[in-house]
Amino acid sequence: MGKPDADLIILGAGPAGLTAAQYGARANLHVLVVEELMPGGQALLIDALENYPGNIGSGDIPAKSGFELAQDMHRQAEAFGACFMTETVSSLRKEGDRFTVTLGNGETLNAPAVILATGTKRRPLGIPGEEQFRSKGVSYCATCDGPFFKEKKILVIGGGDAACVEAQYLARLSSQVIIIHRREKFRAQKALAERVFHNPHIEARFNTRLLEIKGEQKVSSVVLERTDTGERYEEATDAVFIFAGAIPQTSLVPDARTDEKGYIVTDQAMASSVPGLFVAGDVRATPFRQVVVAAGEGAVAAHSAAEYIEAY
């Protein structure tokens, strides 16, 4: 096999991939990042990234958005010499001591080390009406679609950090936001949950789950069920925003060891069970998924990949 196309190929350009690109390039590696959309990943959907260290606003100026921070990280990685490619990856396989990445256009790339930073995708509920009314009142992104429902009645489904954060954003657009959670209390961080409780534009309903989304051309109502009593009722609404967890994007590496939820297991060096394959960000098995965690993992993964390549 001839000269590799890169020393290090990074799949995914969210905060983990962007940080890995910067650290890899600073280590004098030829780094190539492949991203099917645009750099930033799910951070692009964050309205104000107020809990990222140093990203603090002043006065009436809020903290930078995830989009703005992602742009800065992208420019920084490029400034250090990382190269970026917008393309879908159809397969990843290891042949001997190198990895071969096959792109959607049929082109192949190879490198001795790969960092997988493909993140997660929103988990659908799989209920009647969900797919039918996608983009017709059903959404998985408040910052993307929230402005279409100003002063409309909005249901937010979920009880984790994402649901609470997105409900807060939607409450700036409408005074009729209802957050529905099937359990008796939120799973979100306490500070985020407290903000929901103290927001006069948000009503929190616990022990309630969504069974069906109804309408004709667009969403007009939902069927809800009390999980404690079994009572079912129909309620009018204009939009349903779903934040019911995430699905790790691991299809490219079916042989890598995963945990019971499908996230890839690594050691502290971010090394997976496949030699030369490092993993960082939300696709990795970790107890806490935040932008700052993903960035830290990206830095460690790049450092570990550099050591692996040096011994290659």
Q: What is the mean pLDDT of the chain?
A: 94
Could you give the angle at the alpha carbon of 140 between the alpha carbons of 173 and 146, nearest 5°?
Answer: 15
How does residue 60 score in pLDDT terms, banded at 50, 70 and 90? low
User: Does residue 158 carry a pLDDT above 80?
Assistant: yes
Note the pTM of the prediction, 2 decimals: 0.85
Phi-psi map region of 16: left, alpha, beta (phi>0 left; psi -120 to 50 alpha):
alpha
Q: What is the mean pLDDT of residues 27-50?
A: 90
Q: pLDDT exceeding 90 applies to what percent of the chain?
A: 85
CATH architecture, domain defined by 138-242: 3-Layer(bba) Sandwich (3.50)
Are the C-beta atoms of residues 158 and 177 closer than 8 Å to each other? no
Q: What is the mean pLDDT of residues 134-155?
A: 94
- Residue 76 CA to residue 19 CA, distance in Å, equals 9
pLDDT at 192: 93
Task: Tell me the CATH number of domain 8-122+246-310, given options 3.65.10.10, 1.10.645.10, 3.40.50.720, 3.50.50.60.
Answer: 3.50.50.60
Model confidence over 252-269: pLDDT tens digits? 999 999 999 999 999 999
Q: Are 8-122+246-310 and 138-242 equal in CATH topology?
A: yes
User: Does residue 58 carry a pLDDT above 70?
Assistant: no
pLDDT at 59: 60
Q: What is the mean pLDDT of residues 203-224?
A: 97
pLDDT at 143: 85
pLDDT at 195: 94
pLDDT at 235: 97
Shortest CA distance to 253 belongs to which of 111, 103, 85, 117?
Answer: 117
Domain boundaries, the chain: 8-122+246-310, 138-242
Cα radius of gyration (the chain): 21
Residues annotated as catalytic (active site), given as ranges: 141, 144-145
Model confidence over 282-307: pLDDT tens digits? 999 998 888 999 999 999 999 999 99
